[in-house]
Structure 1
Amino acid sequence: MKKALLTIICFLLQHSIFSQVVLPSYPDSIFSTYYQQRDSHFQTLPQTTGDIIFLGNSITDGAEWTELFNDIHVKNRGISGDITAGVMHRLDEITNRKPVKVFLLIGVNDVARNIPSDSIVKNILIIADYVRQQSPSTKLYVQSILPVNNVYGKFNTHTDKGEQIKIINAKLKASTNSHAYTYIDLYSSFADENGKLKANLTNDGLHLKGKAYLIWKHILYPYIYDLERNPSLIPLPQQVSFTTNYFPLFDCKKIVTENSVLLNEAENLKQQLWEKGIIMDVNKPSGTDEPVIELEIGKVETPMLEEEAYRLSVTQNRILIRANTAHGIFNGIQTLLQLTRDGSLVTTCEITDWPAFSWRGYMVDVGRNFQSMQLLKQQIAVMSKYKLNIFHFHFTEDIAWRLQSKMYPQLTAPENMLRNKGMYYTVDELKELIAYCKERYITLVSEIDMPGHSAAFKRAMGVDMQSDSGIVILKNILKEFFTTFKDLPYFHVGGDEVHISNKNFMPEILRYVESFGKKTVAWSPGASLDNKTIRQLWMSDNGKRNISTLKFIDSRHLYINHMDPLEAVVTIFNRQIGDTTREDDNINGGTLCLWPDRKVENETDILKMNPVYPGILAFAERCWRGGGCKGWTATIGTPGSPEANEFTEFENRLLDHKKLYFTELPFPYVKQSQMVWRLYGPYENNGELSRQFEPEIEKLNESQLVSSQIVTGGTIILRHWWAPLIKGVLNHPKENTTWYAYTKIWSDEERLREFWIGFNNLSRSPATDSPDSGTWNNLQSEIWVNGNEIPAPDWKRPGQKGNSEIPLVDEGYEYREPTKILLHKGWNIVLIKSPIVSFKGKDWQNPVKWEFTFVPVCSY
């Protein structure tokens, strides 16, 4: 049998790799009965999709991969005793499944049979080429052969081949580009200083013990889930450096602290690790050398805001979080939890971190659309994980008043509400929400908007807020509120979008609120405010930003209900909070706002139709890190430019978090930085939207047409509808012009792929009209892929005139079914036509959005 096997291997070596790879055929009889048992078992298993397959010998066979990764798509195709020829013999069973990924580890048994190194390498390369040929979309990862160790005196024919293993690994690493696979170096992490398998990871010098598989998992984790090599941290710490060692989380049994003030934080960390399957106790330091996580109050010096600063040190036997306060410890814990992404090991690192702004807020409007306590807590929990610390709770509106008043129950009577009738928050529920925030170092800022946005008050009480009797009622409501909810340091009085008929109204209300020891916040521009009130900017401050005695919070162009999901992340990431790179005497920070004015069918639509979680993460990055670009821009930048590279680096971290932490939550964002477009124009259309020009009349030849510019992104905003405040990609956009956009998309094989396509991402605030039947938008925009026009969706409500009481259903690409397009093998040509006549919409509810979105939903 051995002679026949060697003959087959030699036959393979005599043939170089041709464009068409044909595997040899040989009888099952040359393989062991165990091999035949396993192979026949694999052949009968269901043909599933989306699989990640581990392929190899006993070292692969010995792992429970599905449990290790807690993922039913990760499957074992290891057979004890297998060799490269055995893998080739059963390779069709793998390729026929069209798996997403294959992780191959093979060769150590070939070495034990004295098969030459070149023979082993060439067999592995044939395997790689065959996988590529038969299943082009499958990503192949060739793992280095592990080191061996003869210390146990077992498997001597294997454990004396250490030098040969090094030679094979070097050749496999050198062949990655020419054979289209990714090489993964396992050897370095498993070898001791003498190049032998670490003795504590094996009990026979060849096979692995349980802890070794956890190390293996740690190494492969980013490859399994297409993550960055080091854990992606959001917000990125001010100072962070990773090294190549690791802390054995699987060996750690204790969280220790000497300070009783930190016991709550220790218990919370214990609970969150338990949810990852990591069991620990909370103790005092014992002085032993066992691995521990230690929490410590101690001096951490930073340039600013030391109250929230922390230092996080991960070594091979200790994780230490030191901070000046318990809040700083909490912040450090959030970073640590992101470092523990695989639940096995923590990469060694040193982090010193502090926020650039002290006010990092998120606001929800529950007056127009009620949100359940569960949904509110979900958002608050996400806030806390990303170190936001202000929850702005806007619960009164024209639509409804949604906080219980025992003094005036008519405020929350169903007949006085226009939507979600009878749905409001009880006193106990708000207390519960305040406590929930406090546990997470988040300050809840309640808002009673006055005297504007107060139609619900007027319906219930029968008087205008600005009237004398209205002011008396308001004072009673405020007194009831402050005596009931005593621990809230701030109170938001609204003050925007209203005609002030009583000039004394706001000064009197501010004095009254401040008499209860509250710091006041109000919208600006708006009513007349005293100098003690913090101004929350929603538009220009008309020069007041330069008055040194005033404090500001920035919410300008931070309304995510107005933003296209892809634009939102770009715009928020690029901006400077308050036009400054860090907190100063005027700017305390900013608040990201969610104003879903239009009625929603289900409360979860609020998160599906608005880029809430992508926006929160982008905002958390910017308001913690500081920095940003001057002005407001919705563009990623020229490909390869510093600003585009910086965005791409953040986007990679953002998508890591989507994969790891938002699998069960709405997260309307996909990778867009890879989309590079050539723009052709402007072509004067003289007001004729349907007029055709060179790029669509003739088959577009990239070499013959001269593009005006090259831009990056999944959503390209030619001219922002709030121009010139916000910059689109065109420096000098003109009315009555047509532009074309061209890009190419590669496909490894012919297949259907899903795309987000759109030309007018409707805001969730104004009552905008729906597109007409058969059109993408009402500007006659068109799209072709490989010369074939892509038809617009069959809209559920085509031509529907804007109505705030009619919920959106499919108007946005992010919440309707993606468009399916058949791609050819190789390059696919995408051409988009985007004409414009006037930049002025028919009314304020229907602004002209000159933009397009085209991006694959999945990157593979």
Structure 2
Amino acid sequence: MKISLIAAFWLLIWVATWAKPPALIPAPRRVVWTNEAFRLQGLIRVLTPNAQARVVADSVVAFLRQQGTKAQTVDSGSAQAGAQVVLKLEPMGAFRDKPEGYSITVSAKNIQLTAATERGLFWAYRTLQQLVQPGPPPSLAGCQITDYPAFPVRGLMHDTGRSFITLDTLRAHLQQMSRYKLNTFHWHLTEDLAWRLASDSLPQLTEAIHMQRDPGGFYTKAEVRGLLQFAHERHIQIIPELDMPGHSAAFRRATGVDMQSEPGKKWVKSLIREVCALFDAPYLHIGTDEVAFRDSTFVPTMMGVVRACGKEVIGWYPGGKMDSLAIRQLWMSARKPLPGMRVIDSRDLYLNHYATQADLISLFQRDFCDVPEATPRHLGAIACIWNDRRPASTAQLERLNGLYPILLTFAERIWRGGGKPETQTGVVLTDPAAFAEFEDRLLTHKRLHFSQKVFPYVRQSGLHWRILGPFPNGGNLSASFPPEEGNLHFPAVSATGATVYMRHTWGPSVVRAYLPDPKPNHTAYAYTEVYSPKAQTVGLWVDFHNYGRSEKDAAPPAGAWDHKGSTLWLNGERVPPPNWQQAGLRPQNLEQPYQNEPYEAREPIAVSLKPGWNRVLLKLPVGSFSTPEYRLVKWLFTCVFVRREGAHWETADELIFSPEQSPKKL
């Protein structure tokens, strides 16, 4: 009887363990789950074929030891009985045309990782890390995986020219990039505010007196070499950017000359040679955007210097005129790439403009470079964070830009490819089942791997709304319409999400939102019914503007939610806004950080829900789409009930959001 009970106990553990397969991000091209499990206990031999694979083998051994095993590396010729992990490099095998591709087979006693290159083996190891199932003892889920990326360039850009970011922070971000198979770090090192890279030929560039933000913050060459080694070990290439000849006021302050002057060009040539000698990537990014050219020879001259150093040129597009050999990084949707142009996509990939909850949906659904997968001309994409508005801290930079949830979503889409143009899908959830499946994986990673990190994303696939109107308000943002009196019987648009755009920041010609033809001087309403199983107090995240991290957005006036007259009612009672720490602030420059204006930066409002159905109604007026308070008016709302779970806020999952008062959870 005792044996039977023990067997039944372990059967229940096995069933619970296998109720769901591991949450893999990015999802592999092909995965077949089996009913086997590789137990992480005792001695495990890791067999490596040659020195090239030894580095990956050492990483596998370290990972297995962290799980409590006695793993050790052995030569492939010394195989013995017992649990083992075999690494195989097959340059002419199945992945000969896919240098980052790999396969994994996990059975009860054996694991095999196969790839054509060391990088492919490394990505196999990164997937292996995500296969851990809880114990005791822990195990690796039995499976057969075949995988490779859709695009060769999968990256993140940090603007350290404007705001200095410490090496510890950069290493932390590179570590997470590598975990999710992002392989490119675009390092924007120079700006009007500061020049952050030490120079032997022009040491005055990094003197604190010439820096207008974070004086004294720069990177020595030794520190750069250390970060390059850190990135190399994680199979990330670092592409440096020296922005020229625009965004270079710091250069002008330090040297007393403009880059386009004759002495300026001489110094720039010297700096290019220094940087090319320091960095090992085959590229140098030279910027060339947002500047008036007085010297038509500047760009071709500097391109020639870069190429003489054995590097390829990358430049922004639109930007300076370059030949067809240059790679262009796209940043403006209105300017289509020219025929034959090699491109990296950063259009609508500026995280500093993202409303995390809604734009994450758009990112999950979109394509890159207007193609489903790479071609010789379509290389991939880089997500960018611009720090025009001074961040209060690294945590605020991560929180307001939704760095980690956006990074994981970007990693999923850029690895797998596919997607549709944002004009077709955008922030409108078009495939609820696919998104809900991804959201489950994303929140699993939040729980398992980001429990002590900033991760401002909550479940939203079950939050359903109706949008009424919009009603013409003639420019009177306080005008009242029938929904305020309880009349909700108007044609409605269904919407889903914790943040819902009526009109996206860039308008429907760039990103689709929920209103098909949004116009200024209108008032929309959104409502839902929220079922609570009991009377309870919960937190409420609510906002009516997304505060741009590169904008001089004004703080709301005291007693108001925003500068548009937005209003929220819960069960007919108006919900008052928080006490703003900078009420009424209209910043004259970009040096005043946000405080509690963004909802992510403040405690949720405590509200009471009654048992049964609770009505939420939001008034959403808009005047012009550009005002003195907001250069970029965001016609949106954020509204979600949350509670604290550990270090994070999470959606109050027992609630049902249903405008129709449907009794079942959607």
Q: Tell me the TM-score normalised to structure 1 length.
A: 0.72
On the 8 A contact 1:756/1:854 being kept in 2, the answer is: yes
Q: Deviations over 1:299-324 (max 9, x none)?
A: 68668951000011111221111111
Match of residue 596, structure 1, among 380, 384, 387: 387
- Pair 1:796-2:581 in alignment: yes
Q: Which amino acid aligns with 2:310?
A: G
Which residue matches 1:173?
none
Change (3 A) 1:798 1:218: farther
Question: Helix, strand or coil for the counterpart of 1:726?
Answer: coil
Q: After TM superposition, give the deviation of residue 483 of structure 1 in Å.
A: 3.1
- Pair 1:856-2:627 in alignment: no
Q: After TM superposition, give the deviation of residue 476 of structure 1 in Å.
A: 1.6
Match of residue 407, structure 2, among 616, 621, 646: 616
Match of residue 458, structure 1, among 231, 252, 256: 252
Q: After TM superposition, give the deviation of residue 575 of structure 1 in Å.
A: 1.4
1:150-169 paired onto structure 2 within 5 Å: 158=1
Q: After TM superposition, give the deviation of residue 635 of structure 1 in Å.
A: 4.8
Which residue matches 1:168?
none
Task: Tell me, in whole angstroms, the C-alpha distance in 2 between the residues paired with 1:391 and 1:352.
Answer: 26
Task: Tell me, in whole angstroms, the C-alpha distance in 2 between the residues paired with 1:219 and 1:463.
Answer: 71
On the 8 A contact 2:620/2:635 being kept in 1, the answer is: yes
Which residue matches 1:62?
none
RMSD: 2.2
Task: Tell me, in whole angstroms, the C-alpha distance in 2 between the residues paired with 1:513 and 1:238.
Answer: 37
Q: After TM superposition, give the deviation of residue 779 of structure 1 in Å.
A: 1.0
Which residue matches 1:483?
277
Q: Tell me the TM-score normalised to structure 2 length.
A: 0.92
Match of residue 817, structure 1, among 584, 587, 603: 603
Which residue matches 2:546?
761
Question: Helix, strand or coil for the counterpart of 1:814?
Answer: helix
Change (3 A) 1:561 1:301: farther
On the 8 A contact 2:477/2:622 being kept in 1, the answer is: yes
Q: Deviations over 1:774-825 (max 9, x none)?
A: 1111111111112221111111001111330101111111121122221122
Question: Helix, strand or coil for the counterpart of 1:690?
Answer: coil
Match of residue 560, structure 2, among 757, 770, 775: 775
1:109-508 paired onto structure 2 within 5 Å: 158=1, 204-207=3-6, 219-220=15-16, 229-251=20-42, 253-285=44-76, 286-298=78-90, 306-342=98-134, 344-485=138-279, 487-508=280-301
1:25-174 paired onto structure 2 within 5 Å: 158=1
Q: Which amino acid aligns with 1:778?
A: H
Question: Helix, strand or coil for the counterpart of 2:243?
Answer: coil
Q: After TM superposition, give the deviation of residue 601 of structure 1 in Å.
A: 2.2
Which residue matches 2:317?
524
Question: Helix, strand or coil for the counterpart of 1:464?
Answer: coil
- Pair 1:838-2:624 in alignment: yes
On the 8 A contact 2:544/2:638 being kept in 1, the answer is: yes
Task: Tell me, in whole angstroms, the C-alpha distance in 2 between the residues paired with 1:542 and 1:764.
Answer: 23
Task: Tell me, in whole angstroms, the C-alpha distance in 1 between the residues paired with 2:333 and 2:516.
Answer: 23
Question: Helix, strand or coil for the counterpart of 1:449?
Answer: strand
Which residue matches 1:720?
504
Task: Tell me, in whole angstroms, the C-alpha distance in 1 between the residues paired with 2:102 and 2:226.
Answer: 29
Task: Tell me, in whole angstroms, the C-alpha distance in 2 between the residues paired with 1:334 and 1:478.
Answer: 35
Task: Tell me, in whole angstroms, the C-alpha distance in 2 between the residues paired with 1:506 and 1:350.
Answer: 50
Q: Which amino acid aligns with 2:506?
A: W
Which residue matches 2:419?
628
Which residue matches 1:47?
none
Q: After TM superposition, give the deviation of residue 828 of structure 1 in Å.
A: 2.0
Q: Which amino acid aligns with 1:745?
A: V
Q: Deviations over 1:235-255 (max 9, x none)?
A: 111111212332222355222
Which residue matches 1:551?
342
Which residue matches 1:751?
536
Question: Helix, strand or coil for the counterpart of 1:396?
Answer: coil
Which residue matches 1:677?
465
Which residue matches 1:847?
632
For structure 1, the 5+ residue unaligned runs are 1-157, 160-203, 223-227
Which residue matches 1:660?
448
Q: After TM superposition, give the deviation of residue 541 of structure 1 in Å.
A: 7.4
Which residue matches 2:646?
none
The sequence identity of aligned pairs, in percent, is 37
Question: Helix, strand or coil for the counterpart of 1:755?
Answer: strand
Change (3 A) 1:708 1:295: same
Q: Deviations over 1:832-851 (max 9, x none)?
A: 111122333238x5222110
Change (3 A) 1:825 1:563: same
Change (3 A) 1:278 1:371: farther
Task: Tell me, in whole angstroms, the C-alpha distance in 2 between the residues paired with 1:218 and 1:782.
Answer: 51
Task: Tell me, in whole angstroms, the C-alpha distance in 1 between the residues paired with 2:418 and 2:552.
Answer: 35
Task: Tell me, in whole angstroms, the C-alpha distance in 1 between the residues paired with 2:224 and 2:147.
Answer: 32
Q: After TM superposition, give the deviation of residue 546 of structure 1 in Å.
A: 2.4
Task: Tell me, in whole angstroms, the C-alpha distance in 1 between the residues paired with 2:371 and 2:124.
Answer: 25
For structure 2, the 5+ residue unaligned runs are 643-649, 654-666
User: How many aligned residue pairs are there?
Assistant: 640
Q: After TM superposition, give the deviation of residue 748 of structure 1 in Å.
A: 2.5
On the 8 A contact 1:679/1:742 being kept in 2, the answer is: yes
Task: Tell me, in whole angstroms, the C-alpha distance in 2 between the residues paired with 1:304 and 1:783.
Answer: 58
1:1-16 paired onto structure 2 within 5 Å: none
Q: After TM superposition, give the deviation of residue 279 of structure 1 in Å.
A: 3.9
Q: Deviations over 1:724-774 (max 9, x none)?
A: 322110012233322111112232222221222110011100111111111
Change (3 A) 1:304 1:736: farther
Q: Which amino acid aligns with 1:260?
A: A
Larger Rg: 1
